Amino acid sequence: MGKSDIFRNLSGKKILVIGLARSGMAGARLLLDYGARVIINELRPEKDLTEEERDFLASYPEITFVGGGHPPGLVTGETAFVLKNPGVPLQLAPVREAEDLRIPVISEVELAAHFLKAPLIAITGTNGKTTTSALTGEIFRAAGRKTFVAGNIGLPLATLVGKDKPDDIVVAEVSSFQLEGTIDFNPRLSAILNITPDHLDRHGSLQSYREAKTKIFANQSAADAVVLNADDPETFALRHLPACRVYLFSRKKEVGRGVFLADGMIVFRDGKKEKEICKYTEIKIPGLHNLENALAAALLACLGGIEPRVIAKTLSSFSGVPHRLELVRTLAGVDYINDSKGTNPAAAIKALEAVNRPVILIAGGYEKGADFSSFAEKVKEKVLHVFLIGQTAGRLADALEGVGYYSYELAPTLEKAVAGAHDRARAGDVVLLSPACASWDMFKDFEERGELFKRLVWALGG
């Protein structure tokens, strides 16, 4: 079933929206703009909604709200489609009911992409997609293009509909949860930065997770292009699948079409044509993982027609995004770094590799079924002491002891962990929050966790 079938003549059609939050509200608002009859279903009763969500419902009395669970009968033969919040699992009863009735279940990015006028650049990957999306957006802005950065990065795509024009650019960070709810999603340019085991509690297997990621290029044609990481085995293995043009980025080897390093220079190559962009040492954001992010952003910009001098200038000035290796402050010779966006072991490993000083680490959080063995080995190699918090503290402790590392302690709260790290740290050390886990056991999201860490660090005095 194609876009034209799903979204044709929405006026009067019954649409079920499962889950509020930012994307649910944005999607519902867009559907109302097109005259749909919207039913919103939420696990939480109305009294437990946020103030923003309650205000939203009060502003749109035409919405039918069903809260406090997922009663049978929400999906009927009259339902045109179901709009699912990314956090809603496919196993949920109304989602299964829709599938049984062959009613489409889509995500907010699928809905929004249909109505956007501007070309879409979509970026996914287990790690680095927020930084790469923000950096790509900055490059296009520096070139004078009106550019929106949205999606999983914080601003729902649906909020851009009606604001964008054909000459603008939309850069969208998209997650596997969002991509699994796509049918005809078709960006002009797309990128998969890397694929490592993550969200296996939701997807069930690495294969299922990989398949969700590949939906980013599933509808791209020869007029479009996908960017893949040649240094990441899982991502490089996808290069023969897309029907669109495939470009590679690599910090380790030359590529025939894409961006790579040669004699310290970042080089864009498209067949026989080559352009030098800048020296890789001019990139401001630290770490090898951010070098990869910069190469991906530079390649997307080249494919978007941006001049090398503009790309170079932005790479040399872009300082990163909040909650990703963010220096909070230096106190008594100790750097306090917020890497709350490190929500899986691979991300936390990259953060540890980017820090070249003794580390006191704060880790732990929501259980996603991750394998912590490689993370534990990196901790043993790099870390003086670890404070473990959250749901996974026990499993992390077992993983650390499994590699012969015992310099850790359990902290009941982030507050206790920060205080303990402060007491242990000496001049020249780094206190690093890089949890290797999601935040949902103790916090609304990684932003809330990171903001609390920053407040606690600034409250240390000095």
**pLDDT digit string (tens) for 370-391?**
899 999 999 999 999 999 999 9
| pLDDT (mean) for 183-192 | 97
Does pLDDT of 197 surpass 80? no
Does pLDDT of 334 surpass 70? yes
| pLDDT (mean) for 419-448 | 96
| pLDDT (mean) for 145-155 | 92
Assign 2 a pLDDT band (cuts: 50, 70, 90).
very low
The tens digit of pLDDT for each residue in 154-185 reads 799 999 999 999 999 999 999 999 999 999 99
Does pLDDT of 4 surpass 90? no
Assign 1 a pLDDT band (cuts: 50, 70, 90).
very low
Assign 200 a pLDDT band (cuts: 50, 70, 90).
low
- pLDDT on residue 198: 66
| pLDDT (mean) for 410-417 | 98
The tens digit of pLDDT for each residue in 267-284 reads 999 988 999 999 999 999
What does the alpha-carbon distance between residue 284 and residue 433 come to, in Å, rounded to a whole number? 21
Q: Provide CATH 3.40.50.720 ranges for the chain.
A: 12-106
CATH number of 326-458: 3.90.190.20
The tens digit of pLDDT for each residue in 22-39 reads 999 999 999 999 999 999
User: By percentage, how much of the chain surpasses pLDDT 90?
Assistant: 92
Q: Average model confidence (pLDDT) for the chain?
A: 95
Does pLDDT of 204 surpass 70? no
Does pLDDT of 364 surpass 50? yes
> Looking at the annotation, which residues are catalytic?
129, 152, 199
The tens digit of pLDDT for each residue in 123-144 reads 999 999 999 999 999 999 999 9
- pLDDT on residue 89: 87
pTM as predicted: 0.89
What does the alpha-carbon distance between residue 5 and residue 246 come to, in Å, rounded to a whole number? 30
Does pLDDT of 146 surpass 70? yes
| pLDDT (mean) for 51-69 | 97
Fold of the CATH domain 12-106: Rossmann fold (3.40.50)
- pLDDT on residue 153: 81
Q: Provide CATH 3.90.190.20 ranges for the chain.
A: 326-458
Q: Provide CATH 3.40.1190.10 ranges for the chain.
A: 111-317
Options 3.40.1190.10, 3.40.640.10, 3.30.200.20, 3.40.50.300; CATH for 111-317 is 3.40.1190.10
- pLDDT on residue 202: 62
